[in-house]
Structure 1
Amino acid sequence: MTDSTDLFLVLCAALWGAATGAFLPRAAYRFAVGPDDPWRDTCPQGHAFTRAAGRSGRAEGRSARTTGSTGPATGIGRVTGWTGTATGWTGTATGWIGTATGWIGRARCGQCTPDMALHGPGAVRFSVATAAVCALLAAATGTRPELGVWLLLAPLAVLLVRTDFVVRRLPDVLTLPLAAAAALLLGVAALLPEHAGSWPTALLGGLALSAAYFVMFLISPDGMGFGDVKLALVLGVALGWYGWGTLFLGTFAGFLFGGLYGLGLVVLRGAGRRTAIPFGPFLLGGALVGLLIGAWAA
């Protein structure tokens, strides 16, 4: 590839990451609950989240179009009818925009006062983080078909990092579908020309890493959570795509990052050996390092 093609690819990947990252805050708010609690579907005051603005706009649109359809009996009525119809389509468009806006950015409660209506993290940090991850993956992978897989998985990986850091939880509704999606999509990538990985090794890598983490979970449940075991499925599949060396490198990097973080807690905050830390973010960070090096060297 030429330098201009490389730059364009990285820019497109960054824009994709920024756009998809803007959809994560609402999900992050829903998933930020304890292990035994259901996912949030209300604001702290108990109001259910709705997209009433979008539905209202579409209802107004239908009403205006109905009024417009009764107008063409006279010339003036015809003008009024077309005006009503146009207003109806405008109302409908506004409704759809309102609905789309309800999915972007922070969780929004329509029943709370304006100063209390927004809940959860802002969208900027998610967009920046996801854009950076996607840009790095694009720079390392280039135009190979597996890049599409990495770009699809990256936003949910960022969501997992935030969720585990906040509540030390890796939701099954994210980790298990991610593993299945990674295996399926890499299988498709393996059928395309110019791919740089091995699908059988990816599948074996997922099984091997998950089995190894499961053994560590049985030995020390306090040190390795079962959510980490399920996360290992997708990490092993992704890292195994570029071979066993990449799998070992990404796994080692994850443990190294987690160990350095734990050491920092001991030095700076006086944490003890039994202090619980979220391990998932470091496993994901190590996997990112492994993927970048594996893709670059492939």
Structure 2
Amino acid sequence: MPIALALIGALLGALVPPVAYRLSVPYGEPARSACAACGTPLRWRPGRCPACHARLGPPVWLTALLGAVTFGTLTWALGPVPVLPAFLVVAALGVLLGAIDVACHRLPDPVVALGVGLAIPLLGLAGPHLLVRAGLGALTMAGGYLLLALLPGANLGFGDVKLAGLLGLLLGWLGWPAVLLGALLPHLLNGPVVLVLLLSHRVRRDTALPLGPALLAGAWLAVVAIGLSSRYLR
């Protein structure tokens, strides 16, 4: 089962680049319909612009690999449980959100809202008695990151706050240890990356960096850790 779903994840991941390229625009601007370099109308095909050969979105192999790894490991960690579809749906959207955030430092509200709109009913079907805890997890994560975003000099955006709420929904369904891990791991992951970038003079102390990928990676690691401990250490 993990291998089969990893293949599905790879297929969905391979579809991400053209969508991510269209949505990687500054706040308030409409989605792209043409190549930013030469104006050639876009097609729903990953790769490069047929006219100027500019890259249209992230490499297909990278998003396919991310989709395969997340789908495979989540299935392995959680097992064939009714709640698995909710986690896989958010994982697929997470690959898209991460690609957009890296490209333009944005986490589009419609994509995050789609994740919430799909996750809530899927979680409800899997275990309606746990929805209250899932909601509290979402409020805890979103509230914590909102406080961080309001601190002077913070580089957090409100897109990060909303994404934290979505991820907190899933982590809360698993339990409070998952919420705690999901809240702490992004900073443990992001810190070394920022340090390396600073030491290599690729960024400055005041450079805004995307936090979305670290949020997503931290939540993924938290789910895998809690899932494996629940399955094999009890």
**What TM-score comes out, normalization by structure 2 length?**
0.88
Q: Distance in 2 between matches of 1:224 and 1:40?
A: 25
Aligned twin of 1:184: 121
On the 8 A contact 1:257/1:282 being kept in 2, the answer is yes
After superposition, the C-alpha distances for 1:132-190 in whole angstroms (9 at most, x for unaligned) are 11101011011111112122221210111111112111111111221232222111111
State whether structure 2 residue 202 is matched by structure 1 residue 261.
no
Aligned twin of 1:209: 141
Q: RMSD of the alignment, in Å?
A: 2.2
Q: Decide which structure has the larger Cα Rg and report it.
A: 1
Aligned twin of 1:83: none
State whether structure 2 residue 158 is matched by structure 1 residue 226.
yes
Task: Give, as a single letter, the amino acid of the residue that structure 1 aligns with 2:9.
Answer: G
Runs of 5+ consecutive residues of structure 2 not aligned to the other structure: none
1:122 Cα deviation (Å)?
3.5
Q: Distance in 1 between matches of 2:64 and 2:71?
A: 10
Number of residue equivalences? 229
Q: Distance in 2 between matches of 1:136 and 1:116?
A: 35
State whether structure 2 residue 32 is matched by structure 1 residue 40.
yes
Q: Distance in 2 between matches of 1:226 and 1:257?
A: 20
Q: Distance in 1 between matches of 2:42 and 2:203?
A: 39
Aligned twin of 1:12: 4
Selected match of 1:26 from 18, 30, 41? 18
Task: Give, as a single letter, the amino acid of the residue that structure 2 aligns with 1:159.
Answer: L
On the 8 A contact 2:58/2:99 being kept in 1, the answer is no
On the 8 A contact 2:89/2:115 being kept in 1, the answer is no
Aligned twin of 2:107: 170
Deviates more, 1:132-141 or 1:143-152: 143-152
Following superposition of structure 1 onto structure 2, how do residues 216-295 of structure 1 map, counting pairs within 5 Å?
A: 216-220=148-152, 222-269=154-201, 271-295=203-227
On the 8 A contact 1:25/1:107 being kept in 2, the answer is no
Selected match of 2:63 from 126, 135, 156? 126
Task: Give, as a single letter, the amino acid of the residue that structure 1 aligns with 2:140.
Answer: A
**What TM-score comes out, normalization by structure 1 length?**
0.71
Q: Distance in 1 between matches of 2:47 and 2:112?
A: 23
Runs of 5+ consecutive residues of structure 1 not aligned to the other structure: 1-8, 51-102, 192-196
Task: Give, as a single letter, the amino acid of the residue that structure 2 aligns with 1:245.
Answer: P
Selected match of 1:49 from 34, 42, 55? 42
SS in structure 2 opposite 1:37?
coil
On the 8 A contact 2:89/2:119 being kept in 1, the answer is no
On the 8 A contact 2:46/2:56 being kept in 1, the answer is no
On the 8 A contact 2:89/2:118 being kept in 1, the answer is no
1:200 Cα deviation (Å)?
1.6
Q: Distance in 2 between matches of 1:121 and 1:254?
A: 22
After superposition, the C-alpha distances for 1:87-133 in whole angstroms (9 at most, x for unaligned) are xxxxxxxxxxxxxxxx453476xxx54x6497333422211110011
